[in-house]
Structure 1
Amino acid sequence: MRQLFDCDANCLLKHGINVKNSVENASTVMGKAFSFLFVREPYGRLLSSYSNTFYLPKKDWLTRGSQLIQQVRENPAELSLKYGHDLTFAELIKYVVDRYENAQFLDENFRLIRHKSCNPCTYNFDYIGKLETFESDWDIILDEWRSNEIIKDYPSDILKTFRLTSFNGPLNHLFVTIGLLKTSGIPVHSLFVRTWTYFQMIGVISKHVPIPYLKEEIGKINLADFKKTLLNAIELTEAERRDITTQKIEAMRQAYLTVPMDYMERLSKMLREDCLLYGYDERPPFLFDRVNNRYNESGRDFDYFKAIQV
């Protein structure tokens, strides 16, 4: 959006404040604009929120992570309460489901998609796309804008450019977290491994490409070196033409296998309306069928969450 409209973060914020302070209500403003919404498969969305906030090294560990551990874990260790580094996916699901059932506040990463301003029953969006088909859906929106002269043209490599810059965030978070945990005793090597496996679980790096650093080498690695190594791993993955589309599914199944079935059933009730609204399976077989060998055999050769220890 910044590139398309030559509008940096401050520019976008200014426009957002102007809309928020407008005397017109949101429905009126949206009626005059091209409004669109992108949704995501609800079970995958929860795992993405976990992996991006609590598995990937982030300073959020010391605030949100420690707070959640205090609320959901019995007899948490002092290190966990102080640094919040080892919140598990099952604990996050317990937290989300319990708060939803008790009508307590959930932040935007964990609340339902249809919440307030994202509710398609309240607002008549011009277009609703899906993250799973983002490229083709985004092309439709861009073509619509161009045909209505909202934009003149757009770079053909705009999505590729976005992907390359999207790596900067996780890497910056890693090195900030290393500084915050310097005296914690938490191994720095494990933070690098968690970042590496994060890119494997989102299907960017092949699970057959291991992190190429020994524990004793980690102290010498800077952000530029690690980014170069990461990009080389991505190129190697693409060159080998390995099927990495299954890695997201494998990581999801591994994560949800740690969630007790009673919470899985309660979670399915929570997500049911989102699934029905946007055309997703409310009980994906690969997550709910824990007996079928076809699902059990998938991804058993690799542990996507090996770097987290409770």
Structure 2
Amino acid sequence: MNFHISRKKLFLYMGINFLAIMCVYKVYLSAENNGILQTIHLLRSKPTDYIQLELSERRNNMSNFCHRQVSQNTTKRTMENIKKKLLYSPEKKFLYCPVEKVGSTFWRRLFLIVNGVSKTNNPFNVSTYMLYSNRYSAIKAETTAIRNSLKFVIVREPYSRLLSAYANKLFDINPVYWSMYGRKVIKAVRKNPSNKSLSCGHDVTFPELVRYVVKPLAMKDIHFNPISDKCSPCDVKYDIIGKMETFKRDTLHVLKKLNLTHLVMSRALQEMEEGVDIDTIKSNTNSLMNYLSQKRTLKCVTHEEAFKRKWRNLQLRGIIGSDVEYPFKDGEEETTTHSQLLAVFLNASRRSGSRKSRRKNRELSFLEAYSKVEKKYLIQLSKYFKNDCSSFSYDCRPTNIFEKNQKPHTKFFDTGGL
């Protein structure tokens, strides 16, 4: 009996000691390993906390870059030029700098909804005509408006943005850009160009574009200019820097900041990726059929060449899978109607597997394009992109293109094999 009581006391004693040890251990963790506890707290925190942390890091990086600049004198004339490039919502006190090839068409549509010009909750229902019809509010008192507004810009890794601009404006069917820009590139960098190339500007290669944009005195275009040149981050001092790599997440975050919950919860924005793909197919079908109705296009390319370039462009953008065979044979392109072409593209996209698997085409086409650029021009390009890389935390010498260990086996930019 006495032994039994002693054992109880022993267990009680051991329990008290265990609790005492745990209390000491907890104090030790708190004092000596505060970082571990903070990490655990972050892991248990809401996803929004991570977004805020990442956006804060982006903003701090931009501020640090601007602080290092020798001159930051913003003249009245400079500010006048900057404010012309910004979209402004007086009601929401919201400023957005649209950047070409960084979801600017989508955000221009969205901005018209934010600004109350369009009453739909679906950005894809906003007509292309409205995007460039001067329906955006002007910034009248730039100092007050810019200081007191939520300032937003979406940026993109500069090397991928340049390739995207090339694919859309020069590789794809775009006789307007061929004439306006392609001919300049060919004349400036190509040795012994053909008369047709000088006249059309239709066959600029990606390495030729790179060689052109790094020329100090070359006439640049907004699609190929660095983002920092247009959006002037050190003058505007953006509150939120979104990125193409986190486009949906950052877009929804900004809309929440603007208390536009009905947009955040709309089906169009929750299923944004699918909507973007379908919208891309529709707009590409419209542009192809429109350009082929013009004689100047057919002076430079045939129907077959035009269809094949469009097909390749949709593949390298990750809309159509690389393993889906080109569907037209024996001159069918000339007799294909708009509705038939749209149906073909939509069907091909549906048969191309998951969006994630299709997006691998982007990485492969990226490696293919830059593998053809000489190292000395890549180095010059890294200097051309220096401010964008420093402002927006991008690697200006990515190893996958500066250290070419393997030669890509894809041929996205060669339509001859279709």
CA distance in 2, matches of 1:46, 1:28: 34
Q: Which residue of 2 aligns with 1:305?
A: 413
CA distance in 2, matches of 1:164, 1:143: 25
Alpha-carbon distance, 1:11 to partner: 8.2
Alignment of 1:122 with 2:235, yes or no, is yes
CA distance in 2, matches of 1:280, 1:130: 11
DSSP-derived class of the 1:106 partner? coil
Q: Which amino acid in 1 is paired with 2:352?
A: T
Aligned residues between the structures? 290
Q: Which amino acid in 1 is paired with 2:240?
A: Y
Alpha-carbon distance, 1:197 to partner: 0.8
Alignment of 1:234 with 2:349, yes or no, is yes
DSSP-derived class of the 2:285 partner? helix
Alpha-carbon distance, 1:32 to partner: 3.1
CA distance in 1, matches of 2:130, 2:388: 33
Provide closer, same or farther for how the CA distance between residues 221 and 166 of structure 1 changes in structure 2, counting only shifts above 3 A: same
DSSP-derived class of the 1:35 partner? strand
Provide closer, same or farther for how the CA distance between residues 282 and 168 of structure 1 changes in structure 2, counting only shifts above 3 A: same
Q: Which residue of 1 aligns with 2:201?
A: 84
1:255-281 CA distance string (max 9 Å, x none):
112211111111111112211221111
Provide closer, same or farther for how the CA distance between residues 226 and 216 of structure 1 changes in structure 2, counting only shifts above 3 A: same
Provide closer, same or farther for how the CA distance between residues 138 and 242 of structure 1 changes in structure 2, counting only shifts above 3 A: closer
Higher Rg: 2
DSSP-derived class of the 1:128 partner? strand
Alignment of 1:109 with 2:218, yes or no, is no
Provide closer, same or farther for how the CA distance between residues 12 and 172 of structure 1 changes in structure 2, counting only shifts above 3 A: closer
DSSP-derived class of the 1:79 partner? helix
Alignment of 1:137 with 2:250, yes or no, is yes
* Identity among equivalent pairs (%): 27
DSSP-derived class of the 2:154 partner? strand
Provide closer, same or farther for how the CA distance between residues 113 and 183 of structure 1 changes in structure 2, counting only shifts above 3 A: closer
Equivalent of residue 267 in structure 2, options 116, 141, 156: 156
CA distance in 1, matches of 2:318, 2:181: 26
Alpha-carbon distance, 1:188 to partner: 1.6
Q: Which amino acid in 1 is paired with 2:313?
A: Y
Q: Which runs of 5+ in 2 are unaligned?
A: 1-109, 119-125
Q: Which residue of 2 aligns with 1:61?
A: 178
Q: Which residue of 1 aligns with 2:212?
A: 95
DSSP-derived class of the 2:258 partner? helix
Q: Which amino acid in 2 is paired with 1:156?
A: R
TM-score scaled by length of structure 1: 0.85
CA distance in 1, matches of 2:132, 2:328: 40
Alignment of 1:272 with 2:386, yes or no, is yes
